[in-house]
Amino acid sequence: MKKICALLFLSCFIPTTSFAQTSVWKVTNKKGNTLYLGGTVHLLSPSDYPLPKEFNQAYKKADILAIEADIEQMENPEIAQSFMPKMMYSGEKSLTTVLDSTTYQLLEKACNKLHIPLANLHKLKPSLVIISLTGIKMQAAGITAEGVDKHFLGKAKKDNKDILFLESVESQIDLVANMGAGNENNFVKKSLEDLNKTEAIMGDLISNWRSGTSTFMDQQITDLKNDYPKLHHNLLVKRNNNWIPKIESYFATKKIEFILMGALHLHGEPGILHQLKKRGYTIKQL
């Protein structure tokens, strides 16, 4: 599973660069009703601001902002605490019983490098441990600023724009909690391999995100499908299929929506852009 941990964060760190295109598309139906789709990264470094101008252009034209889920709810300590049981093992089950000794030692070594005692985390599911380690690596790389979706959520609230969500916070928590389930050893090993490549992975990601190209994204989707078909289905295919009816329902009115989602969701055969094009919508990249 190539670079999956970093892609789940969809994070970036390299400086702003000018490109002819970026990850924003205008979608129009046969009646002339429109909306905008924007691919996002969920964490940024301060040097990534200002964002490409096309994002602000789409936002200004939009009456409504739609994002994946309620970020502020996810960041609420009380709500986060209520979801913790889903991220933890119960009974006798723990990292030491789920992982084989070799994988556990590799994980322990990675934790020690970041001064985290793995013994204190033995009841957490591997996905949460990996996410925690990745978060620390990103912070060390200077990825400390709010991401695209949170940036525009704040603007939308300040501007009193209507806000919609494509899915619930609980569904996202369930997805993370079950990441790698049934294949924990391989999931941890591959994730640890990518952990040391965080900056290089983010460099490729941000370059493709800013230019709005699909080469890198398509390759990651293919790798994910080949290495982890179940995770590919749950992470991308299933969610994209659930989102399509909601997106199509937005065309029912003349109001214009600006829909932000992780950039990986837009690309590839299961991607939102491909599905909308098959349904007869006109798509133009800004």
Per-residue pLDDT of the chain (286 residues; tens, 9 = 90+): 444 444 444 433 223 333 347 899 999 999 999 999 999 988 777 887 889 999 999 999 999 999 999 988 877 888 878 889 999 999 999 999 999 999 999 999 999 999 999 999 999 999 999 999 988 888 887 777 788 999 999 999 999 999 999 999 999 999 989 988 889 999 999 899 888 887 777 777 777 887 788 888 888 899 888 888 888 999 999 999 999 999 999 999 999 999 999 999 999 988 999 999 999 999 999 9
Q: What is d(CA 81, CA 54) in angstroms, rounded to the nearest whole number?
A: 37
The total of structural domains in the chain comes to 1
Q: Please name the helix (run of DSSP H) or strand (run of DSSP E) that holds residue 210, with its range, or none.
A: helix 198-211
Q: What is d(CA 65, CA 257) in angstroms, rounded to the nearest whole number?
A: 6
What is the SS3 assignment for 245?
helix
Q: What is the pTM of this model?
A: 0.88
Query: How do strand 257-262 and strand 64-67 relate by DSSP bridges?
Result: parallel
- Closest alpha carbon to 16 in 43, 53, 46, 47: 47
Q: What is d(CA 31, CA 25) in angstroms, rounded to the nearest whole number?
A: 18
Question: Residue 13 has what pLDDT?
Answer: 28
Question: Residue 39 has what pLDDT?
Answer: 94
How far does Cα 70 stand from its chain's mean position? 13
User: Which tokens belong to 192?
Assistant: 């640890």
Q: What is d(CA 286, CA 283) in angstroms, rounded to the nearest whole number?
A: 10
Q: What is d(CA 229, CA 235) in angstroms, rounded to the nearest whole number?
A: 10
User: Which tokens belong to 55?
Assistant: 């994002």
- Closest alpha carbon to 185 in 240, 237, 126: 126
Neighbouring C-beta atoms of residue 213, cutoff 10 Å: 17
Neighbouring C-beta atoms of residue 266, cutoff 10 Å: 22
Contact 235, 176 (CB under 8 A): no
- Closest alpha carbon to 67 in 132, 137, 161, 135: 161
Q: Which domain holds residue 175?
A: 4-285
Contact 286, 233 (CB under 8 A): no
What is the SS3 assignment for 67?
strand
Nearby residues of 208 by Cβ (< 8 Å), 6 or more positions away? 214, 215, 216, 217, 263
